[in-house]
Chain A
Amino acid sequence: MTFAKRLFRRAAGGLAALLVASFLAFMILEASPGDVTDILVGDSATQAEKDAVRQEMGLDRPVIPRYFEFMENLLLHGDLGRSAVNNRPVTELIAQRFVNTFLLAISATLLALVVGVQFGLHAALHSRTWLDTLLSVAMAAGLSTPVFGLAILLTQVFSVQLGWLPAIGAGSIRHFVLPVLSLAVPTAAVIARLTRSSLLETLQMQYVTTAHGKGVPRNLVWRRHILRNSLVPVISLVGVQFGHLLAGAFIVETIFAWPGLGRLTVQAIFDQDYPVVLGSVILAVVIFQVLNLIVDLIHSLLDPRIRTAEA
């Protein structure tokens, strides 16, 4: 299968996923109690008055035509509509928030990658020593730490007690430190674990022994055989983790008042702000597909077997 064909297949798959995901989201929201009119009209409105507002917003029409209209606008005009709550264009809303979340997630992922690979490497190199045990315990603990607890602890220590770093908001490099740390700890733990076991696996491989045996310089064996092979699964994992951070950082975003996509989505879900929810769902789907593609590409660069299988 050629690369172009694969790209095409993935794009088709992505489009299908997009259609299904947005439809699912639409239907689940539709079945939820209440709707956006609860927020728009006051507490004292009668049902009739609420209905009038619903009618004005077109919410009284059946869900299927509304969904089709939405998809038509999206696919033909690239228009995600306007927020039902604040009337801002959805594209503008999610674009701003996405940048914030992206910066947070990419920083956390990079930090986790650097720290995680280092930890994993040292654990594997010193396997069966006290250092390995220590690092393994640290990884297990990092993996089991509730991020929200960690986040609160960090703000107490670094913002309230020491006064070194801001606890809330975004806007400067210093604002990144605490949320990034909170997100990076469990991610680093996952990466470290995989790096360690992947390295240990590679070290046992015949080709490594062979390479050493035929006198290939030590650092070349490491560069060309050991690291290259053991990092393939790590790259996959980093891709997955990055995706999770993009889609699942809303707890950390809520705690640190970070103006990210996660918080926007959660708020929109509970406000029943369909256009915004759908906008974020679609963005998430697209991100996931793109990430898959990127990971795939890196894979084929690192692993010749994949390239040869294509031929």
Chain B
Amino acid sequence: MKKYLWFLLVVLILSGCAAPLAPVTPAPTAEPVSEPTAAEPTAAIPLGGTVTRALTSEPTSLDPHGPIGSGQSVIFPFLFDTLVYRQADNTYHPYLAESWTVADDGLSVEFKLKPGITFHDGSPLNAEAVQFTYQRLMDLGTKSPLASGFASVAAVEAPDDLTLRVTFTQPSSIFFSTISTPYAGIISPDAAAAIGENFGQTPVGSGPFKFDTWVPGETVTLVRNEDYAWGPAVLENQGAAYLDQVIFKIVPDAAMQATAFLSGEVDILFINSPGQIARLKEDPAAQMIETTLNSLIYLGFNTQKPPFDNVLVRQAFAYAIDKQELVDVALAGTGAAAFSPLAPTLPGFDASLASLERVTDLTKAAELLTEAGYAVQADGSWLGSDGQPLAVELIISTRAPNEALATVLQEQLKKAGIEVTIRALEAAAVSETTTAGDYQAMLWRYDWNDADVLNVYLSTSRIGRTNRSGYSNPQLDELLEQASHELDQTVRDRLYSQAQVILIDELPWIPLYTPIDFIVMRTSIEGAKIGSMGRMLLNEAYVKP
């Protein structure tokens, strides 16, 4: 009975989010999960059990300061704790730090750590250990994915055992989102010194699970940390986890992950392809938990090359594309059409700008193209003033569901007389080609934990690296720079709102949709929670007998 109630709740939440343009504030997916757990008397929770999660790519290293990768970022939160905990709704809660104070000028933050925390090797997790971790992270420079988040950090000090003070050269609004990511987990300084460069193969943290074994190419196994007593404040159970073991199985093929779930070899997996979603939805043993990675899929233009150096052409494309149809046909509805370059789940997203969205209108597209100097031909195609026909190459990476998206876009634009050819490349090649500016249009997906993503992808200073659009607008640069140092969320929201207005007008990207990704979990597992960026907490999870 309880199970059905639970299902009903999730279904309600899911349908709420699936409605196009609706989710102004994200549904805190963590809450419905916690309710049945809370109703359960604690004594009834069965201890022990093993949960297996499928990983698409093998971690390269389990050192949080090693290279980035989806494999390791899934495992880090189990092994390492962070100072603060970020919930799915992007609010911050005490974790290793029981409290913190931000100075009025925003130039320093002081964290008070919980007493009595120990690493898996028994050494104490004190302010010095945090300082060591942050320093190690900063020493990495650009090799660290958190480099930009630590860019304005002047110093990290440990005045006493339980106090950590971070000072800044200028206020940073992205510091908290940075230190709550899995890559900012605190590592044991003793172990790091003792193990040296192989730390990534035998990591030592303070998390709810300890590293046990790693069979390369096969599995990573973690076991319960019996001493754990410092879980995030949002949890009922801040003590040791109920599960004995968490196993990560490396299964490179997405379809085989679903197969392994159906055959009972894997209990948890992440899916984002409509095919797999449809396949597992039917299975009564599967709970589908919607996760938000604050993602956006967009059609990015190279604004330094014809034809997209002309804003009118970009706007014409926006009128020619039917986003809702794209979501319905290419994704079987597993996404929500987007109008803003910010994912709706990111603070700073302005829902009121929905009115600026260009509704599909081929007449308007034609008008804009004419205005841009293109002449319509007898067969409906367009000829530029330079005698070149309007034909565009769209670069996609080979990952699902890009092919489906590109095919539908190709078809929609064909109706507007625009010929699109699709070029599918390996993800690394897409990154390289587009960073070099050697393209016309691309499909891109970002998963980011802060509205600062606009700064990373669109500010002038990032041209030649992450600003693949080659887009440069001093007014936007100014707004984004200000926002990244603004600590007052209301002011920050206003700045981002202005930035969104500019971007919706000038369209270096056409935002297409925000994906609905799922974590699929066996129904026998209860009490799992999903935090921000798809991070999974199994501190309270148990397997129903």
Contacts and interface: CB of A to CB of B under 8 A. Distances in A.
Interface of A: 33-34, 38-47, 49, 52-53, 85-88, 93, 96-97, 100, 152, 155-156, 159-160, 163, 166-171, 254-257, 259-260, 263-264, 267, 270
B537 interface: no
Interface string B62-83: 0000011100000000000000
B93 to A, nearest CB: 27
13 contacts: A33-B429, A33-B432, A38-B432, A41-B67, A47-B465, A85-B67, A86-B60, A87-B61, A155-B259, A257-B218, A259-B216, A259-B217, A264-B217
A49 B218 CA distance: 33
Contact of A167 (B260, B429, B464, B465): B260
B256 interface: yes
Given A33-B429, A167-B259, A254 B142 contact: no
A42 B145 contact: yes
Give the most central of A85, A254, A257: most B CB within 10 Å.
A257
B252 A40 contact: no
Contact of A170 (B67, B143, B218): B218
A42 B147 contact: yes
A167 B432 contact: no
B142 A41 contact: yes
A21 B287 CA distance: 50
A42 B252 CA distance: 22
A168 B249 contact: yes
B456 to A, nearest CB: 6
B249 A257 contact: yes
Contacts of B142: 41-42, 44-46, 49, 52-53
A97 B217 contact: yes
Interface residues on B, range: 35 or more
A167 B143 contact: no
A254 B252 contact: yes
Interface string B443-484: 000000000000010000010111000000000000000000
B428 interface: yes
A172 to B, nearest CB: 12
Contact of B144 (A38, A42, A267): A42
A44 B197 CA distance: 24
Contacts of B253: 254-255, 257
Interface in B246-285: 249-253, 255-256, 259-260, 262-266
Contacts of B163: none
Contacts of A168: 249, 251, 256, 259-260, 265-266
Interface in B212-265: 215-219, 249-253, 255-256, 259-260, 262-265
B201 interface: yes
Contact of A257 (B256, B264, B429, B465): B256
B249 A167 contact: no
B490 interface: no
B304 interface: no
A177 to B, nearest CB: 13
A119 to B, nearest CB: 30
Contacts of B465: 44-47
B217 A86 contact: no
Contacts of B505: none
Interface string B500-536: 0000000000000000000000000000000000000
B431 interface: yes
A86 B68 CA distance: 11
Interface centre among B147, B217, B465 (most CB of A within 10 A): B217
A164 to B, nearest CB: 9
Nearest to B263: A159
B141 A49 contact: yes
Interface in B130-146: 141-145
Nearest to B69: A39
A150 to B, nearest CB: 14
Given A42-B68, A44-B465, A87 B428 contact: no
Contacts of A270: 426, 428
B280 to A, nearest CB: 11
Contacts of A260: 217
B265 A167 contact: yes
Contact of B251 (A40, A85, A257): A257
B421 interface: no
Nearest to B461: A46
A34 B429 contact: yes
A170 B432 CA distance: 36
A250 to B, nearest CB: 11
Contacts of B143: 40-42, 45, 53
Given A255-B253, A257-B253, A166 B265 contact: yes
Contacts of B431: 38, 43
Contact of A171 (B145, B218, B266): B218
Nearest to A100: B217
Contact of A44 (B147, B216, B218, B432): B147
Contacts of A41: 67, 142-143
A167 B256 contact: yes
B531 to A, nearest CB: 22
Contact of B432 (A34, A256, A263): A34
Contacts of A34: 428-429, 432
A170 B217 CA distance: 10
Nearest to B59: A86
A171 B52 CA distance: 15
A159 B259 contact: yes
Contacts of A160: 259, 262-263
Given A44-B462, A264-B217, 20 more contacts: A39-B67, A41-B67, A42-B144, A44-B147, A45-B465, A86-B61, A86-B200, A87-B197, A87-B198, A87-B200, A96-B217, A159-B259, A167-B259, A169-B249, A169-B260, A257-B218, A257-B252, A259-B216, A259-B218, A270-B426
A261 to B, nearest CB: 10
Contacts of A33: 428-429, 432
B256 A93 contact: no
A299 B265 CA distance: 45
B148 interface: yes
